[in-house]
Amino acid sequence: MVDAIDRPLYHDVTKNPVYAFVYRHIYPLFVSFYAWTIIGAENIPTKKDARILFVGYHSNHNWDITLTGMSVRQIMDEVPVGLMHRTLVTCCPWLKAFGCIQGTRANALAAYERGHRACMVIPGGAEEALMGHENAYTVNWQSSKGHLRKGFAELAIEADAVIIPVVVENMQEMVFNPLFFLLNITYLSKLYDYLIALPGYIGWLFLQIKMWTWMWTAMLPVLPMPVKASVIFGKPLHQEKGESPEQYALRVSHEYARLMAATNPGGLNYSRALRARFAT
């Protein structure tokens, strides 16, 4: 492992005034509103030279991702580097204020080598967030062409990082977006998927349009729901002896799906999430 403890951080956002304001003033408000709790902090390695790759699920609103990243800082005293799709980082440059970079393997390795202990990635990508309410909490880490997404496993192997699965209880129910709800019940979202399925660059272009539109409409007026929300850090997952990147990625996806089903059984359910908050 490269000794990078004394190197300057690749992307230090703690001094950014936007991030500092959100962490000091907005984050505590959300913690109170959602009765936000941290479970499984003991599963995060505490050694200063340990490298960690957090893997998570993509909600359709992103609020949980922000809270999760700040919870990681609360535990590790470090902001995790968010590995994001290049389209989103390019169209939304303000994401850099929260530690997000283009999620290439080279960028991630550079972050580790320059002193960062943790990166965070969502193997399902923005496509996971675009799947719709009826597919909430469905873990399917495959590309639009049906190939297993194994890049995160290859990164963990090359960086000598341990994978920590991260699941948020009631993450989808934290926010109600009327526009997203309307697109789902009218099946307009599903109809658009036929355009994405078109061959070659045509389908790719429609996917980029949907991702860009989703990113901005997710920030339109929404209704925060006072549900109970918790972030759960699962057991560390190391590459086993003789395990290929494909096998490693598949094992992580199965373990993640198991943890997701145990945390959010039955899919999207606002009444369940509200009962969990106000149960006596």
Residues 151 and 124 both lie in one domain: yes
What CA–CA distance (Å, rounded) separates 207 from 209? 5
* Segment 165-179, tens digit of pLDDT: 999 999 999 998 887
Judge contact between 190 and 132, C-beta under 8 A: yes
Residue 52 bridge partners (DSSP): 118, 162
More confident residue, 11 or 69: 69
How many CB atoms are closer than 10 A to CB 90? 12
What CA–CA distance (Å, rounded) separates 66 from 183? 25
Going by DSSP bridges, is the β-strand pair 230-233/162-169 parallel, antiparallel, or unpaired? Answer: antiparallel
Residues 88 and 99 both lie in one domain: yes
Residue 242 gets which letter from DSSP? T
Residues 185 and 269 both lie in one domain: no
- What number of CA atoms fall less than 13 Å from residue 18's CA on the CB side? 10
Question: Quick one: pLDDT band at residue 56, thresholds 50, 70, 90?
Answer: very high
Domain assignment present for 5: no
Question: What pLDDT shows up at residue 219?
Answer: 65
Domain count across the chain: 2
Domain assignment present for 99: yes
Domain assignment present for 6: no
Residues 140 and 57 both lie in one domain: yes
Residues 200 and 253 both lie in one domain: no
More confident residue, 53 or 177: 53
Domain of 192 in residue numbering reads as 178-221
Domain assignment present for 190: yes
Judge contact between 220 and 231, C-beta under 8 A: no
Residues 6+ apart with CB under 8 A from 99: 11, 13, 19, 69, 79, 80, 81, 82
Residues 60 and 189 both lie in one domain: no
Residues 18 and 125 both lie in one domain: yes
Question: What pLDDT shows up at residue 94?
Answer: 79
CATH number at residue 97: 3.40.1130
Residues 95 and 198 both lie in one domain: no
Domain assignment present for 36: yes
What CA–CA distance (Å, rounded) separates 232 from 167? 5
Domain assignment present for 34: yes
Query: H or E stretch including 214?
Result: helix 200-217
* Whether the predicted pLDDT of 9 surpasses 60: no
Question: What pLDDT shows up at residue 1?
Answer: 41
Residue 233 bridge partners (DSSP): 166
Judge contact between 173 and 230, C-beta under 8 A: no
Residues 183 and 46 both lie in one domain: no
Strand ranges (E), the chain: 37-39, 52-55, 81-84, 100-102, 118-121, 162-169, 175-176, 223-224, 230-233
Question: Quick one: pLDDT band at residue 136, thresholds 50, 70, 90?
Answer: confident
**Category of 78 on φ-ψ map: left (φ > 0), alpha (ψ -120 to 50) or beta:** beta
Going by DSSP bridges, is the β-strand pair 175-176/81-84 parallel, antiparallel, or unpaired? Answer: unpaired
* Segment 142-161, tens digit of pLDDT: 876 677 899 999 999 999 99
What CA–CA distance (Å, rounded) separates 64 from 56? 10
Domain assignment present for 4: no
Question: Quick one: pLDDT band at residue 3, thresholds 50, 70, 90?
Answer: very low
**What pTM was computed for the model?**
0.87
